[in-house]
Amino acid sequence: MPSPLRNGNLPVPSPHHHHHHHHHFQSTVSAQKLRRLNTLVLILRFASFCFSLASAIFMSTNSSRSTGSPSWLHFPSFRFVFAANAISALYSLFEMGSSIWEILRSSTLLPEPLQLWFDFGHDQVFGYMVLAAGAAGVEAIRGLKSGRTCDAENSLCVQAIIAVALGFVGFAFLALAALISGFRLACFLITGSRFHL
C-alpha cells in the first residue's frame, strides 16, 4: 500500500474520529494556502516563460535585410542571450507543468525532497545564466554604439535592446519564483514538509 506522504501528499485524517476534526480543519486551511501559493508560482513561471521566449524570438530574428550586413549570429554575446533565454523558456515550461500537477494532485511531480531541491537549484543556475547573458548583451550593444555600427544598422541595435530587455524581465519573474522555491525548501528542511505555511 503506497504511503500517503509520497511526493508530499497531505495526510488525510480519518472522518470516523471526532478528535481529529480540528486537525482536519487545519490541514484544509494549509492546503488552501498551498494552492494559492502554487497558483502564484504558476503565474510567475508563465510570465518568465513568455518573456524568455519573446527574448529568444526577438534575438533569433534580428538580422538586417540588406546583403552583407551584420546579424545577431555574428556576435557571441547575442548568441548567448538567445541560448540562455531559450533554455530558460524550456525550463519555465517544465515548471509550469509541475505547478499545474501540484495544484491538481496536491502532490509534487517528483518525490518531495527531490522536487524542492530540483526547483531551488535550477532556479539559481538558470537565473544567473539569464542575468549573465543580459549583462553580456548590454556590453555588446554598448560596443556597437561606440563603434558607430548602430548608426548604419539601427534596426539591429533596437531589436537587440528589446531582446535583452525582455530577457531581464523574464529574469525578474524567475527570481521571484526562486524566492518562493527557496522558502519552500527552507520549510522542508526545518519542519520536514513544504506545507508549513
Whole-angstrom distance, CA of residue 9 vs CA of residue 20: 18
Question: Residue holding cell 521571484?
Answer: 176
Q: What is the pLDDT of residues 69-97, one digit of tens each?
A: 677 788 889 999 999 999 999 999 999 99
Domain boundaries, the chain: 80-197
pLDDT classification of 193: cutoffs 50, 70, 90: low
Q: What are phi and psi of 71, to 5 degrees?
A: -125, 165
For the beta carbon of residue 77, count every other beta carbon within 10 angstroms.
20
pTM of the model: 0.76
107-127: per-residue pLDDT in tens?
A: 778 888 888 899 999 999 999
Nearest C-alpha neighbor of 29 from the set 40, 21, 17: 21
What pLDDT is attached to residue 66? Answer: 55
pLDDT 10s digits, 2-19: 444 455 555 545 554 444
